[in-house]
Chain A
Amino acid sequence: MTVDGSARAFRQHGRVVVVGASLAGLRAAETLREEGFVGALTMIGDEPSEPYDRPPLSKQVLLGKVPADGTALPRRRALDAEWRLGVAATGLDLTGKRVRLADGQEVGFDRLLIATGTRARPWPRETEADLDGVFVLRTADDAARLERRLAARPRRVLVIGAGFTGSEVASACRERGLEVTVAERGPAPLVGALGGVIGAVAAELQREHGVDLRCGIMVTALEGDPAGRLKRAHLSDGTTLDVDVAVIALGAMRNTEWLAGSGLGAGPRGVACDAGCRAFDVHGIVTDDIFVAGDVARSPHPLFGYQFLSLEHWGNALAQAEVAAHNMISSGPDRRPHLWVPAFWSAQFGVNIKSVGVPPMGEELIVTQGSLAERRFAAAYGHQGRVIAAVTFDHARWIDFYREQIESAAPFPPVFANVDRRPEGLRPVGADFPDPALPTHGPTVTLSGYSPSERRVTFTPARA
């Protein structure tokens, strides 16, 4: 690898500030050191704890199997960084190259990595959100508080929102033998991420495990007793529900408020950046020294019509952090694109769920292996005649195959015979997403290469 003089000098004497001390921030910092950055490194994080892992919070931690403070991320190497934990970044001076902190101090940088992630979307009415018994689940503290309350065996738990977090919370409650009601505004659980066909499977799964699942319904109010404890929920169908715990699982909000007025292209959907993780300013001009990674980033993906994707995926945070860090200390053609294929997993009600690609882009779906009725299957999503995504329920060992299908723009519906083709898989059905806002054009591309440094885009002409 060749590095020009300035990149080499930067590796020796540069100052890097990483705002956000979670998965993306930590892995980026480690990558910087691994790749030879010996300059000054400052890590800023608003939580007081060292970087920790979040996926176990809604699973093992809520089951009481792992303590909430027991999910610290393993360190790949010593960082030799200055840690500013428990203090949030409050502003960014792009011209002066300084990050402002909540304690009034400022930290100067030559290059900045923004990895501030997301936070749980709170219950919209503050007085109700403040009731004792109303929880969100994003941080280790959230998980610790909720676990304590579940251990005290509430009579009924209300989960508001049946996305992945809400469904995992409901699963943990059932595993602990607690009565749980799930209220979902859409027609089925997981419907936004996986569509109505798979959502119906998830609904069946919940009901079979004893969840009182109510779809097409909203919680209109949370009511407390005079002592400020949650006691009742009011639903849009006019019914009420006596509950002493409510978990708000309405998705996440990106932590970009601190960048307001900075001149960066940052907003509620995240911080826009190019495929090399360099942030855009408000004019759409790429910056040279501001990089973004993880849940807060929003970057164009050639496989998905160059749409700007923001992904709340563990694997994306990791991969994007490594690319961002590499590019921070490289220049010109040594820089790499972040071409990670979106992928995530969930564990709920004893089922392992994995997904690759961008299911909501899919218009149609075909069960390629297994069967929906057995709730063990692989299904592919189609978009304009190609495979755009896939989901597996207890079929995870096949997921890499589908990733390759997506990367190589394989035709949809799939034409191949496979080891496990059953009658229901013979024809595609509508994937049944509630909001079919689909892009209408875009070049078709193929990903190639095995290691990140080899991954490049190859133009693939559309099939006639």
Chain B
Amino acid sequence: MTATSGTLLHQITDYANRADPYPLYAELRRTPVARQDDGVYTVSTYWEILSLLHDPRISSDVRNRTPQAGGDLPPEDDTTLPPSFLRLDPPEHDRLRRLATRPFGPPHSPRRIHDMGGDLVRMVSGLIDGFQGREQVDIVEDFAYPFPVMVICKLLGVPHQDEVLFHGWADAIVAALDPSPAEGPQERQRTAQRARTELGTYLAGLVEEHRRAPGDDMLSALITDHGPDGQMSPVELITTAVLLLIAGHETTVNLITNGTLTLLRHPEALKRLREDPDLAVPLVEELLRYEPPVQLLPQRTALADIDIAGTVIPAGASIWLMLASGNRDPRRFDDPDRFDPGRRDNEHLGFGSGIHYCFGAPLARLEAQLALTGLARRLDGPRLVADPPPYRQNPVLRGPRHLPVAFDGVTA
């Protein structure tokens, strides 16, 4: 007797299973495309997920959802900011993403991330220096959260001291991504909308300051730069800034924390990384496969009937792409439940795929590589205080809420 897949999805989103959802994913993969009780279709196997990520019949714009589709509907009273490019389809998505890419990456700004390397190393060192004289730290509060926040503030041109302001807004916005059928989704949506508006207002003020006195940051570049696509409108600029600010740190926290946890559970990998910093590159790829910070994409909608893996997903249906499950699909990865930092042929779904492939991937990779290498090199005798650690509520952006780690000392 096995649980029905409907029950399974409830178990996956149930907080009680947050620390280890992987056996449930394995169970879910027995039905690669499964219709849930509420009409949502879960897709849990690698090739099917990959295929749908490249399928133009799948929309990322929740406004295409029909009332009978299942999943969250956009609140009717949403009069706030329009969606960011993450939640838009082409051609609007393509135009906004191209505009956002100009000051961030190739071909126009190929060195932006590379040139931040020195700053990133100094930030990591500074945070670890702060561990001196202590026997235990919370990796989340003391390291994995502050580091990406510093980075995204510097990159965007947001004053770092304003972190106290936007921290709460970011929490509320991210909480609304939680698709758990828990109590009060409408209330959560409204709180998130309010937070988004407040964060938007804050960033609008910042945009004005940068317009008057542009600096060498992305916001200034987005405001002053003219390319073949023209410029973002003021509202587009703000929604994009909200997206970059939040996505720029809320996921990286989990990548670094999950990475630290995984390394402490695999001491031989930690030892290898300490001896060979070059291992950081494949190791972070393996982390993105093994413990992806974004576990699933619950935002897609079918625009047409889609015949996949013997099931027809009907037009209008809400689709959840279970990235973390695809990453452990034995039909794609050998011995998928083994953490293998030297793994080859590792085309994981940790950053998604297709046109919404993680915009910040190059930055996230570099941050995680430097953070984990720094910890591995400098912490003497690190060990977990609690295993499993307490997790965050959210099943989408999954990661520990706290990660207490004890150690014997800090190497210079």
Contacts and interface: CB of A to CB of B under 8 A. Distances in A.
Interface of A: 368-370, 376, 378, 397-401, 404, 415-420, 422, 450
A78 to B, nearest CB: 16
Contacts of A397: 54, 353-355, 357
Q: Which of A378, A400, A417, A419 has the most CB of B within 10 A?
A: A419
Classify the secondary structure of B's interface with A.
loop
A245 to B, nearest CB: 27
Contacts of B90: 369-370, 419-420
B316 to A, nearest CB: 10
A420 B57 contact: no
Nearest to B59: A419
B317 to A, nearest CB: 13
A418 B304 contact: yes
Given A370-B91, A397-B354, A397-B355, A416 B304 contact: yes
Given A398-B54, A401-B56, A450-B331, A419 B89 contact: yes
Contacts of A398: 54, 56, 354-355
B112 to A, nearest CB: 20
Given A404-B51, A417-B303, A419-B58, 5 more contacts: A400-B50, A401-B56, A418-B56, A419-B56, A420-B90
B55 interface: yes
B380 interface: no
Contacts of A400: 50-51, 54
A417 B301 CA distance: 12
Contacts of A378: 56
B47 interface: yes
B384 interface: no
5 contacts: A415-B304, A417-B303, A417-B315, A419-B58, A419-B90
A420 B89 contact: yes
B298 to A, nearest CB: 18
Nearest to B60: A419
A418 to B, nearest CB: 4
B335 interface: no
Contacts of B89: 419-420
A390 to B, nearest CB: 11
Interface in B302-342: 303-305, 315, 331
B94 interface: yes
Interface string B212-229: 000000000000000000
A376 B331 contact: no
B306 to A, nearest CB: 8
A398 B57 CA distance: 11
A228 to B, nearest CB: 41
A420 B303 contact: no
A417 B304 contact: yes
A450 B47 contact: yes
Contacts of A419: 56-61, 89-90, 303
A369 B56 contact: yes
A187 B322 CA distance: 49
A368 B57 CA distance: 11
B105 to A, nearest CB: 15
Contacts of B331: 450
A417 B61 CA distance: 14
The list of the 7 closest CB pairs from A to B, nearest first, reads A419-B89, A418-B56, A416-B304, A420-B90, A400-B54, A417-B303, A401-B54
Given A369-B90, A376-B94, A397-B354, A417 B57 contact: yes
Q: Most chain-B CB neighbours within 10 Å: which of A376, A378, A404, A416?
A: A416
Contacts of B303: 416-419
B73 to A, nearest CB: 19
Contacts of B355: 397-398
Nearest to A419: B89
Determine which residue in B54, B60, B89, B305 has the highest number of CB atoms from chain A within 10 A of its CB, and name it: B54
- Of B50, B56, B57, B354, most A-chain CB atoms within 10 Å: B56
A399 B50 CA distance: 12
Interface string B41-63: 00000010011001111111100
Nearest to B306: A416
Contact of A401 (B55, B61, B315): B55
Contacts of A422: 91
Contacts of A401: 51, 54-56
A183 B319 CA distance: 51
A60 to B, nearest CB: 13
Contacts of B59: 419
Nearest to B304: A416
Nearest to B332: A450
A368 B51 contact: no
A306 B60 CA distance: 39
A418 B305 CA distance: 11
Nearest to A418: B56
A376 B355 CA distance: 14
Given A397-B354, A417-B304, A368 B56 contact: yes
